[in-house]
Amino acid sequence: PLATALLGISISTVSGLSTSSAPSIPTSYTNVCNARSLGNSELIVSEACLGTMTFGVQNNRDDAFEQLDYAKSVGVNFIDTAELYPVPLFAETWKAGATEKIVGEYIEKIGPSQRDDLVIATKIAGFMSKSAIAAARRGEDGGNPDEFPDCRLDEASVKEACHASLDRLRTDRIDLMQIHWPDRYVPLFGQTQFNHQSIRKDAVPIEETAAALRDLIEEGKIRYIGLSNESPLGVSEWVKATEKLGIRDKLVSIQNSYSLLDRRFDSDLAEMCSHYGIGLLPWSVLAGGLLSGKYSNGEGSGSYIAASSNSRFRAYPKYMSRWSPSSASQLTLDATSEYAKIATECGLTPSELAIAFVRTRQFVADNGSIIVGATTMEQLKENLNPFLGEEKTNDLKILSDDVIEAIDKVHMKCRDPSCSL
């Protein structure tokens, strides 16, 4: 029965989730919640990673510090940000790098010893024409948008972006530097069809980007490399480039969308990343908040935290339109309702079910980490609660086979419904 969905059992006893081949975790990391190596590296991270993209628009500095303090207090040592953040970019208060500045102020406040306890990840933006993000790399604030430089991933741009992030983060090194999206054309953010007419002949070669990151590694400014919003072709080319440059062991993660509503990673990318020891950092595990139940009309959604006026799709209904209740497809809304009903039968909130499902995926459980964020402390605590076992042991609450079967039935009826051509 679904009511017995949550079982307090060791992750190593669950079929398909053995971590016996993972590197052993040093005893000094006992305070890190469900600690694991990221990819095949020596970078030890918590099972949950705090996402920060609301810092600077929906959350102010005080809100952000409260979230960071709470996350640290429950054993989250992994913080993810980006030079692009906060979002959405069309918000009146948006400014490129504002989130990194807030995180940097927090790092300065807690001091060097506590900073050493954290794993700080940020991201360099890929190709974007006439971008305020590229201007911010040069310290330019405002001006004529038509005169902004393009965001690119050539050697000079990568190094410029890294130095700007280091300044904003007020730290001497970035633990994980990720490429937010490629310089070349790829379908992004829910698109599934490759458009040959969109190929750009001037795309920066991956090897050039990788060589710039190698230089930064050698200078001690970054420690490891991660990808984001990447395709199987991109992963394979990055593996080849880093092997050629002698830094293959530094390529450790990929940050792609993954949730009940977007399971595209389950196929080719899961095989490839497993083979190369690259861990997944899934983003939008709650589909921008849609899977939390907060926007529900109440049918079959059980217990959940209701949306406030500051909730993403209340404040910015046009942002992430594929998941926004006002514009999402009917299939997306129907699937969301079906998953909420399963959560109710399990005695879970919709958020808890959505997060618990992602925790069962081997490409996360073995060597990845789940990015969670929130606009309120109440929501953050609910989102982090599934990771907090008794006495912070590695006993996880894993969904039963019956629940996975019920989830898969909905998935087969509504496969990745929020994705589009």
The pair of structure tokens assigned to 195 is 């458009």
Verify whether residue 85 is a known catalytic residue: yes
**What is the spatial distance between Cα 66 and Cα 62, in angstroms, rounded to a whole number?**
6
In 251-382, the DSSP E strands lie at 251-255, 279-280, 370-372
The residue annotated as part of the active site, out of 85, 106, 258, 316, is 85
C-alpha dihedral sign at 24, 30, 32, 34: positive
For 24, which DSSP code? Answer: P
Helices 350-359, 330-346: crossing angle, 10 deg rounding: 90
DSSP-assigned letters across all residues of 113-139: HHHTT-EEEEEE---BSS-HHHHHHTT
Name every residue whose Cβ is closer than 8 Å to that of residue 307 and which is 6 or more positions away in sequence.
289, 294, 295, 313, 314
Which tokens in the block code for residue 355? Answer: 């997060």
Question: Measured over all CA atoms, what is the biggest interatomic distance in the chain, rounded to whole angstroms?
Answer: 61
How far apart are alpha carbons 399 and 404 in whole angstroms? 7
Q: Which residues are catalytic?
A: 85
